[in-house]
Chains A and B, each alone.
Chain A
Amino acid sequence: MGLTGYLVVSILLFGIGAFGFLARRNAILMLICIELMLNAVNLSLVAFNAFGGQGEVTGAIFALMIMAVAAAEATVGLALVMAIIRTRQTAEVDEYSDLKE
């Protein structure tokens, strides 16, 4: 599998994540879909790194940093979702319509 194969897998995963983020109603699942999109980007970075030449490491370092940022994002995002669920008693995002009323 060459560079193009890895890129196609990465693009498919990113598309799946974007679709899930737009279409699903559950707040926690939307966070999972963000993780899928971040992972897709990581895959493309590591693939470019592997095919970019011998002894190249920048792509791998970027992937590691994205992972750290994704961990921070997941922590704060889940804490926010838990706080919202505690006051609204539901995880469905289209029930959060207080501002509309």
Chain B
Amino acid sequence: MLATGVVGGGLAVVTLRNIIHSAIAMMVCFGSLAGMYLLLGAGIVAAAQVLIYLGAISVLILFAIMLTQAGDANLPAPFHRQVWLAAVVTLVAIGLIGWVAVTTDWGAGAQAASVLLEELATTLFTDFALPFEILSLLLLAAIIGAIYLARRPEEDERVN
């Protein structure tokens, strides 16, 4: 059921002609993924998925679409001319990776009950403290870069 939501939502994203419908299919896909994280016992990842992807990135993308699309009239063809080449390449890649993933013995044990929040927090702020700090710097740089790129250019530096 959730797997159907994930894969069907993904398929709808790449095949639907109207890009607004694609964005809504993307939200279905991300919501189903949050459900799968819950099934896997990773409640914190599911919560982050809902907050970051459903809450932030989806809204960001919807805003970008609404600022750039003129309307539903004369939608251009959605695919490049090389769509069949892309399909063949992707199917070969899926087949190879899938064959490896299915035939390999991963040595998987029983599914763990759930990710312990206490354990996760301790590991995140001891073993992974440096990556955590670097991540905050990366986010700061991304904010400044996004503001710089998205502002309207001054008259004397306008290109074209």
Contact = CB atoms under 8 A, between A and B. Distances in A.
A50 B44 CA distance: 13
Contacts of A56: 112, 115
Contacts, number: 234
* Interface band, chain A: 35 or more
Contacts of B65: 28
A64 B146 contact: no
Provide the main secondary structure of the chain B interface. helix
B131 A53 contact: no
Interface in A54-90: 54-58, 60-61, 63-65, 67-76, 78-83, 85, 87
Nearest to A91: B68
Contact of B3 (A5, A31, A61): A5
Interface string B47-58: 011001100110
A25 B141 CA distance: 29
Given A32-B26, A75-B146, A87-B159, A53 B109 contact: yes
Interface residues of B, number: 82
B87 A23 contact: yes
B90 A69 contact: no
Nearest to A98: B160
A18 B85 CA distance: 12
Contact of A28 (B19, B116, B142): B19
Interface of A: 1-9, 11-20, 22-26, 28-29, 31-33, 35-36, 39, 42-43, 46-58, 60-61, 63-65, 67-76, 78-83, 85, 87, 91-92, 94
